[in-house]
Structure 1
Amino acid sequence: TPSCPENPQQQQQQQQQQQQQQQQQQQQQQQRQQQRQQQRHSQGQATGSARADTSNS
């Protein structure tokens, strides 16, 4: 029957799509974490420079 060989291919395609979606979600999470870290960095540098200025004066 021609329908038999078609089924496993469809299953494989579905699995691949699911994997791609999972990878995209992971990448988005990583990007969010990186953005948070960058924000903390910039805030820390800003407060650090401000403290340095006040201590000098």
Structure 2
Amino acid sequence: MPTPEKIEKLALPAGEPVMILKRRTFTKDHVPIEFAYGVHAARRFEWSYSFPLPD
């Protein structure tokens, strides 16, 4: 559940949950190249990922 600060910043109604995205991306040599942290209103956000699988 969101903090009062997040409720205000996201203009959430009372009791609305949030989804938190934490993502780290690395090169094939394990060097970090990206960090993402996002807080999203659950009813307004959807994730969809597609990854090819190696044989």
Same fold (TM over 0.5): no
More helix by share: 1
Report the TM-score, using the length of structure 2 for normalisation: 0.22
Higher strand residue share: 2
Q: Highest Rg: 1 or 2?
A: 1
Give the TM-score of the pair, scaled to structure 1: 0.21
